[in-house]
Amino acid sequence: MAFDKTSKDISASTLTRMQELGSAWVFKRAIQDNAVWDSWEEIKQDEDTYEEIKKIWDKVGGVRWNDAVDDEWMESFYKQQKALLSKIGKPNFTEFTRDGSQDGSPYRLPDSKKSGKPFMEWIEDYLQEEFKIGNKDNWNPADIWLIQDEEKYKKLIVKATETTKKTKGSMKAQLSQLNQIFRTLFRNKLIMGISLKKVGSGPAKYVEVNVTQSYFKKIETAQMKLVGVRCYLGTKKINMKKDTNKKSPTFNKMIVDQAAEARALRKGLGTTGYPTIETQDTVLTIEDKDNGVSFTVQIKNTSTTKMDNLKFEPTEKGKTSARMGKATREFVFDIMKTYGILNKFPTTHQKYPKTKTDFTRSKMSAVESQIKNIQSKCRGLGFTADMGSMPSSMAPVIGAINIKEVMGRKAEAWTANSKLQQLSFLNAILSLSKEDTNSFCTDLIYLAAKQGRTGGFFGAGYGSFGKIY
């Protein structure tokens, strides 16, 4: 999202808060106030609705509504409420909430009956206190909550989980009980968490996740298939800055800023003209034939400028504007442990070479063997591993040499360190049988989507939510 020139810069998290509060307000008007619109333009013409949206932009973001840019969000709000109401009708919700701040205090939509913490903040605190879950989204990615009789059901949640605790139930049993309560509340339209994605040119879709037994059975019998691996091992020169002024005589020519280069080198970012790995990531392509969809899983450094650990982020093909969310590292490691392959994958960047000195001949040989194994296993799965522009037969040798070269002081050594982590991860999952490799990839997708009654914290599964996308 962008704003006019008179607006101040605001963070991505604040933008998200504004947009989700806007969705919550439109849901409230449509459900609680029985507002009916036949187009997004009618929402703008509805003074009560539109004025509050502008107030959210002003009070939460400190910016003015900009028709030229923000009307896209009004269109998204309209499509979201249309998709939601077509599935759930108009239940008697009394609260429509998100954690939003106005001068350091929660932002309350008009006619809110609630005081104190918004439900989202309350459940985050409860998860932290009872289960040591620091990030609520790793349990339930809901962005807003639609609630009937909030205080009543908060007491029910606390009592039920405390009862399980008193009977010396395990942490898994307690969280499983919490998940069951939320499923019941969701099905009865008493507390519904909703995950939101911006809706583009097409209609919005609404699906319910982790709500019914039939949903879980479908997941448990699903089997996706790994159909592609891309792990480029070529090199390119570290980019020089380009003169982008078309009137300049040096337009489109490489411009070297020596001072900037010196600063970059001190930060370990490398020097212009020295090699770096041609791509920072590895990409898996996973096909869900039964549902006619496929996914890409991008595996890369958490940081793009320094040594760091890997992250795992799937995207449904054709929906690049709405990523599914990262698969929590610890949960990825849990399923690797379940498949007996965690010992093949050192999980932190410190356990991999960082310099040419670290990258001994024996380690180069090990990398060559890894690449050969990856290529062989991919052929067994019915496709050729894409290692970049080099001849496939030369990828093991050239790939290992390139990685060592990028370990140089003036190169971007962190990209080589990351590529070693990626190769190790690939080698681990491809050491499984064909069936287990595909099962692991299936689990990885559901892990990122926060779907299933198993996995997650303590293996107790995930919370229930509706998803609009």
pLDDT single digits (tens) 89-102: 999 999 999 987 76
Distances (CA, A) of 314 to 101, 204, 302: 31, 21, 14
452-455, long-range: CB < 8 A, 24+ apart: 452/210, 452/216, 452/219, 452/220, 453/179, 453/210, 453/216, 455/331, 455/334, 455/335
Query: What is the number of H-type helices and E-type strands within the chain?
Result: 14, 15
Same domain, 229 and 150: no
Per DSSP, the residues of 284-317 read EEEEEGGGTEEEEEEEEES-SSS---EEEEEEET
With beta carbons less than 8 A apart as the criterion, state whether 301 and 310 touch. Answer: yes
Q: Is 96 helix (H, G, I), strand (E, B) or coil?
A: strand
**1 within some domain:** yes
pLDDT for res 168: 76
Same domain, 345 and 427: yes
Distances (CA, A) of 61 to 19, 69, 129, 235: 10, 15, 30, 43
**52 within some domain:** yes
With beta carbons less than 8 A apart as the criterion, state whether 137 and 325 touch. Answer: yes
Closest by CA to 419, choosing from 317, 286, 294, 275, is 275
Same domain, 121 and 195: yes
| Residues contacting residue 158 through CB under 8 Å, at least 6 positions apart | 126
Residue 51: both structure tokens together: 């004025």
Q: Is 146 helix (H, G, I), strand (E, B) or coil?
A: strand
pLDDT for res 49: 97
With beta carbons less than 8 A apart as the criterion, state whether 182 and 191 touch. Answer: yes
Closest by CA to 84, choosing from 23, 153, 169, is 23
pLDDT single digits (tens) 79-91: 999 999 999 999 9
Can you give the residue range of the structural domain that contains 407? 225-238+273-452
Distances (CA, A) of 182 to 139, 188, 264: 12, 10, 50
Same domain, 36 and 158: yes
pLDDT for res 305: 86
Distances (CA, A) of 420 to 204, 310, 361, 394: 41, 11, 15, 17
Same domain, 168 and 277: no
**257 within some domain:** no
pLDDT for res 267: 60
How many CA within 13 A on the CB side of residue 216? Answer: 16
pLDDT single digits (tens) 116-157: 889 999 999 999 999 999 889 999 999 999 999 999 999 999
**262 within some domain:** no
Element (H, E) at 90: none
Distance CA 379, CA 184 (A): 46
Same domain, 232 and 194: no
Same domain, 88 and 232: no
**139 within some domain:** yes
User: Tens of pLDDT along the chain (469 residues)?
Assistant: 333 333 457 888 899 999 999 999 999 999 999 999 999 999 999 999 999 999 999 999 999 999 998 999 999 999 999 999 999 999 999 999 998 776 677 888 998 877 788 999 999 999 999 999 988 999 999 999 999 999 999 999 999 888 888 877 789 999 999 999 999 999 999 999 999 988 988 999 999 999 999 999 999 899 999 999 999 999 998 875 544 555 655 555 555 566 665 665 556 567 778 899 999 999 999 999 988 899 999 999 999 889 999 999 999 887 654 556 788 999 999 999 999 999 999 999 999 999 999 999 899 999 999 999 999 999 999 999 999 989 999 999 999 999 999 998 888 999 999 999 999 999 999 999 999 999 999 999 999 999 998 888 998 999 999 999 9
Distance CA 3, CA 73 (A): 13
**366 within some domain:** yes
With beta carbons less than 8 A apart as the criterion, state whether 56 and 22 touch. Answer: yes
pLDDT for res 326: 80
Same domain, 200 and 233: no
3-state secondary structure labels for all residues of 385-453: CECCCCCHHHHHHHHHHHHHHHCCCCCCHHHHHHHHHHHHHHHHHCCCCHHHHHHHHHHHHHHHCCCCC
Same domain, 185 and 291: no
**100 within some domain:** yes
- pTM for this entry: 0.83
Same domain, 198 and 299: no
DSSP state of 8: P
pLDDT for res 269: 66
Total structural domains within the chain: 2
With beta carbons less than 8 A apart as the criterion, state whether 425 and 336 touch. Answer: no
How far apart, in Å, do the first and last CA atoms of the chain sit? 17
Same domain, 434 and 304: yes
Q: Is 208 helix (H, G, I), strand (E, B) or coil?
A: strand
Distance CA 405, CA 397 (A): 12
Burial of 25 (0-12, 13-18, 19+ CB in 10 A): buried
**214 within some domain:** no
Handedness of CA 371, 373, 376, 381 (dihedral sign): negative
Q: Give the angle 338-141-429 at the CA atoms, nearest 5°.
A: 25
Same domain, 233 and 165: no
